[in-house]
Amino acid sequence: MIVLEYKIKGKQHQFQAIDEAIRTGQFVRNKALRYWMDNQGVNKYDLNKYCAVLAKKFDFADKLNSTARQSSAERAWAGISRFFENCKKRRDPASPSGARERSTRQQIKRKKCYPKFKKYSRSVEYKKSGWKLDESTKKHITFTDKNKIGRVKLVGSRDIYFYQPEQIKRVRLVRRADGYYVQFGIAIEVKEDMQPTGRAIGLDVGLQFFYTDNFGYTEENPRFYRKSEKRLNRLGRRLSRKYRNPNKGKSGKLMVKNSQQRQSSNYHKARVAKAKQHLRVSRQREEHAKKLARCVCASNDCIVYEDLKVKNLVRNRKLSKSINDAGWTQFRKWVEYFGWKFGKITVAVPPHFTSQDCPACEKRVKKSLSTRTHACDCGCVLPRDQASAILILKKGLNTVGHTGIYAWGDTPSWAVGASLSSNGESLN
């Protein structure tokens, strides 16, 4: 399945109707989660049936299309099923690798991630009904439910003419800082047949360089947030100056009567300007990770990388901003996706002592972060990142060479239910 995205061009009352549909979808999702919490043994189909009960009970819920209500209930069930899967991972698995999983569980505390209520939703999803695409131009889409969104114009360069209406499985309305978008989920085969290159590569991500491979090639770290930090700070100060404290009057004294005072239009303009800049930085980081991942997967048959726990790494207050700015998780996500799309092998290996062990004799050489050269008694002298990349590749090849041994990488969400030759699962 691929996703085509267009920006929506419409009127103000149509955007308000979209906001109302998003709030209704959030309400249905939270109600479905509460229904699961209060009733034992509720499954996915019970939540779909409960959507009809909500439509009869609440008039505003009845305005939303029935398939959109079911999609919101399915979002609740996605969080519930993920919670059940995390609970099962804490138990001893019945697989032959149970002993390894037990030792892994002692080293890593897995979070169960109990499903939570949604506070700020930004999208609502339709299935096969509730919308109609113009057959002649396919530049307009009409939403036919009772929310009265109506007909809006699609602005974008992606051509949707080549796909039949029955191929469009999902239509999602998304609200972002710079406007509203509509996404089409099209069910087509996206795998590409590529010729083998005969190369295997090990990647060591870092902060000085975005990544270093086992051949010594280094990719520069773009640092998009650092470059935009000055402008973001200026927009933040502008937003702070325009903020009205609802409990204070013009003289600065506390006043209870102004507790319901709203923010000015200039405040909301400053808020949108700052949000747009943050959105620009996130898009730059996403596109950079996507391009690099595609190039890496297209030029190599086996890609090995570290299974880093970024959530634990960002607890370091001195390095958290730089780690978040690098975008290692996004890069790994796109490497796994393009590895599945191109039929390449992607392996995530444990990151323990990859920067300390020698790639030649595997002797542990203690180094601080400031030491950038690996020097071992066996005579191996290499840049620190390149030595780590060589060791990562060796670990990955040991994993690939045995069927049934798994690396620590979990199956990505886009590939649930698919038979993959990646993410640590090795095939002969």
Residue 409 is predicted with a pLDDT of 41
Render the burial of 162-200: b for 16+ CB within 10 Å, e for the rest. Answer: ebeeeebebbbbbbebeebbbbbbbeeeeeeeeeeeeeb
pLDDT of residue 253: 55
The Cα–Cα gap between 350 and 355 comes to: 12
pLDDT at 50: 93
Angle at CA of residue 2, ends 277 and 347, nearest 5°: 85
Report residues of the chain scoring pLDDT below 70.
90-111, 247-261, 400-428
Q: Rounded to an integer, what distance in angstroms lies between the CA atom of residue 102 and that of residue 87?
A: 14
Cα(347)–Cα(216) distance, integer angstroms: 20
d(CA 252, CA 217): 59
Nearest-10 crossing angle of helices 12-38, 44-57: 120
User: Which whole-number Å values give the CA distances from 147 to 18, 27, 64, 67, 249, in the listed order?
Assistant: 8, 15, 6, 14, 39
Phi and psi dihedrals of 150, rounded to 5? 80, -155
368 contact partners, CB below 8 Å, separation of at least 6? none
Tell me if residue 361 falls in helix, strand or coil.
Answer: coil
Under 8 Å between Cβ of 303 and 336: no
Q: How far apart, in whole angstroms, are the C-alpha atoms of residue 13 and residue 15?
A: 5
Q: Which of 244, 235, 241 is nearest to 274 (CA)?
A: 235
C-alpha count within 13 angstroms, C-beta hemisphere, residue 106 = 5
**Alpha-carbon 43 to chain mean position:** 26
Distance (Å, whole) CA 8 – CA 156: 9
**Structural domains for the chain:** 2-186 (no CATH), 200-222+280-415 (3.30.420)
Number of Cβ within 10 Å of residue 363's Cβ equals 12
Question: Residue type at 23?
Answer: R
Closest by Cα among 170, 143, 151 to 63: 143
Q: What is the pLDDT of residues 326-343, one digit of tens each?
A: 999 999 999 999 999 998
Task: Give the residue among 300, 321, 162, 160 at the shortest CA–CA distance from 229.
Answer: 321
> DSSP letter at 203?
E
- The pLDDT, as a whole number, for residue 56 is 93
Model pLDDT, residue 428: 25
What region does 30 belong to: left with phi over 0, alpha with psi -120 to 50, or beta? alpha
